[in-house]
Amino acid sequence: MNIDSIKNGIVIDHIPAGRGMKLYELLGLGKLDCPVAIIKNANSSAMGRKDIIKIDADIDVSLDIIGYVAPNVTINIIKDGELCEKKSIGLPEVLTNVIKCKNPRCITSTEQELDHVFRLENPEERVYRCIYCETKASADA
């Protein structure tokens, strides 16, 4: 397999195996007009298997979405073919418009312009709660 190196862009590394496609969809990477590579089930000495996403463009990606789907990933920023910055991402404390409240009685169900806001309740179990109605949402669901 041959995947070209990136001149200017982003590499999202250490994605747990199987979560790369979910990140691809939630980040809207299919709408980009630039090369995007998804490497699934790559060998990893630390993780066993992992997914990797390479984006050959200097774009902004939602760190909240990345942290929600795959905490503990590494984001490598590439400029002129060289690694210029490395970020580690964890679970975000607050999620805004990343997930939607499933409670039909929640105010977000009737007020369409209202943001869907969730706070991290339990980091070990990756559980979030809607700030309006307290409905639980799990990051693993």
Residue-wise pLDDT tens digits, 104-129: 999 998 888 999 999 999 999 999 99
Question: In this structure, are 113 and 57 located in the same domain?
Answer: no
Q: How far apart are CA 49 and CA 40, in angstroms?
A: 8
| pLDDT tens profile 13-32 | 999 999 999 999 999 999 98
Question: In this structure, are 17 and 84 located in the same domain?
Answer: yes
Compute the mean pLDDT over every residue in the chain, rounded to the nearest whole number.
90
Residue 48 lies in a domain: yes
| pLDDT tens profile 66-83 | 999 998 899 999 999 888
Q: How far apart are CA 101 and CA 96, in angstroms?
A: 11
Question: In this structure, are 46 and 113 located in the same domain?
Answer: no
Residue 3 lies in a domain: no
Question: In this structure, are 26 and 77 located in the same domain?
Answer: yes
Question: In this structure, are 83 and 99 located in the same domain?
Answer: no
Domain enclosing residue 21, as ranges = 9-88
